[in-house]
Structure 1
């Protein structure tokens, strides 16, 4: 069956019944009585039934009109509930946010930030897709996709918000440094055991730039080669070898003195932590709140100040 041509006619019909006359309903709706009468007549013609019995003194519902009226009232109530739900969602952060984030970035600190956000916003729910694959935020219905990429970024119709650099640094446990000494040059690190991110292979190459922008390379066969950041961090903490890891992933251990940053004068090409999302228009408060929370936490976190301290040395 074809849908009603104009759902407004259902509202007009209910208003006439509730008011008891066309004139009273027209006054309440601030429209002409003749126009209101035509709209209800058009509805009856479309349905092929008479909904109202008209006399000079009063209106009354036909039997089918009573049935139809009940459904119309329920439909209008549901429509109002839907509108109220939207207004409630827009009034404060609440509802579901669909988030995509790489595993390494979650392990490197974003998971803790997300947990803090959920504590701060108890009305918000998060569906987290922990994945390293490239996602289509529009086709997959994702509200926010967090990524780390090295500029320049390709052109895109999607909106983007940057959070800051993702710096890779060399670290080693206090025990390993005490045993083998504090390295002064990259060649000193070459004489130390290494644990590295990546897939299995015989050798790993680390490339750095010094303060004069000169490139330095270290080619080494690692004692441990893994694509799991938590395993790599654990190995570094236990003194198994030197690791090159995201600064965010070891900020707590660096502050506690469990790990030591090596050769702070060397740097790697930094990626940018950023979020991509379909559009800035029509963004619900829950999504905007999470974006703002991520930006604040990443900008004000200790690892940023830690990096600044090293750069100022």
Structure 2
């Protein structure tokens, strides 16, 4: 027997049995009676057995047809259950979201946004890869990856949605600041010890932009270099050195007096925080709503500054 290639024929057969006639089934399905009859006959020919006894007045199942009908009902029920799952997934946030995000961005506020989203959507599970490596969203089966880049963004075949901006500022502990004259320019801070994100070439340069758009570069040799923002923040609070950290990461420390914002008129060029994902088509509510929550979360962070 050849494999059945069109499972719709099984559903049509089950509808004929349920309604007791081709005419009633065709009316319920919105099909022509002759077309429905041909589909069931083609199914019998494909199977090589007779499923229905036909008379001018009635239809009845053969013994094989009766057993076959039970399996058809099971398949129809499974298909309906599968569609119901899709319909529910499309109607409200639920299911699993697979994402990747650099550690620095997570520590700068994204972790809080994701946690709040999960608290508001109990039927959603997030599988988060906290990594600084460049991920392939297609090959790794991710719903989206979060990145931060200086503008303009690179051309890509992937879909992109901007989430917000990330600006790094110079901060130091009050204890460290007390040991040095009040800074009025980058030159006045260059004698201070520094802390920095790790650099593959072990060349450490900070580029700061003033209110007029002028860029000043500061080459330095940090006392601590690491790709862990949390360690840099702790070292800065401990007075080890000046650090350039995301404003959203240290805002609470500045408000609490644990850190001081040095040279408030200068900061890095804003980085574009954005999500990349395979396509916008067929995006389920859980993913779309999480992206919306990230955009709203960055807006909240900006308003708090």
* Cα offset, 1:264, TM superposition: 1.5
Partner SS state of residue 179, structure 2: helix
Contact 2:2 2:47 in 1 (8 A): no
8 Å Cα contact 2:2/2:46 also seen in 1: no
Could you give the per-residue CA deviations for residues 129-161 of structure 1, whole angstroms, max 9, x where no partner exists? 112222222232211211001111222232211
Stretch of structure 1 that moved more, 50-59 or 34-43: 50-59
Q: Following TM superposition, by how much is the alpha carbon of 1:113 offset from its aligned partner in structure 2, in angstroms?
A: 1.3
Q: How big is the alpha-carbon RMSD for the aligned residues of Structure 1 and Structure 2?
A: 1.9
In structure 1, C-alpha distance between the alignment counterparts of 2:220 and 2:29, rounded to whole Å: 80
Gap change, CA 1:200 and 1:74, over 3 Å in 2 = closer
Moved more, 208-217 or 271-280: 208-217
Which structure 2 residues correspond to residues 108-187 of structure 1 after superposition, within 5 A?
108-187=108-187
TM-score normalized by structure 2?
Answer: 0.93
With 213-222 and 236-245 compared, the bigger mean Cα shift is at 213-222
C-alpha distance in structure 2 between counterparts of 1:164 and 1:131, whole Å = 20
Measure the CA separation in 1 of the matches of 2:146 and 2:47. Answer: 52
Q: Residues 217 and 289 of structure 1: is their aligned pair in 2 closer, same or farther, counting only changes over 3 Å?
A: same
CA contact (8 A) 2:170 2:267 kept: no
The Cα shift of 1:290 comes to 0.5
- State how far apart, in whole Å, the 1-side matches of 2:284 and 2:294 are: 16
CA distance in 2, matches of 1:163, 1:155: 17
Deviation at 1:203, TM superposition (A): 5.8
Runs of at least 5 residues in structure 2 that lack an aligned partner in the other structure: none
Distance of 1:40 and 1:300 partners within structure 2: 61
Give the SS at the match of 1:180: coil
Which residue is equivalent to 2:8? 8
Hey, what's the Cα distance between the residues in 1 that align with 2:154 and 2:221?
Answer: 34
Within a 5 Å distance, the mapping from 1:6-155 to structure 2 comes to 6-155=6-155
Partner of 2:289: 289
> TM-score if structure 1 supplies the norm length?
0.91
- The alpha-carbon deviation at position 305 of structure 1 amounts to 4.5
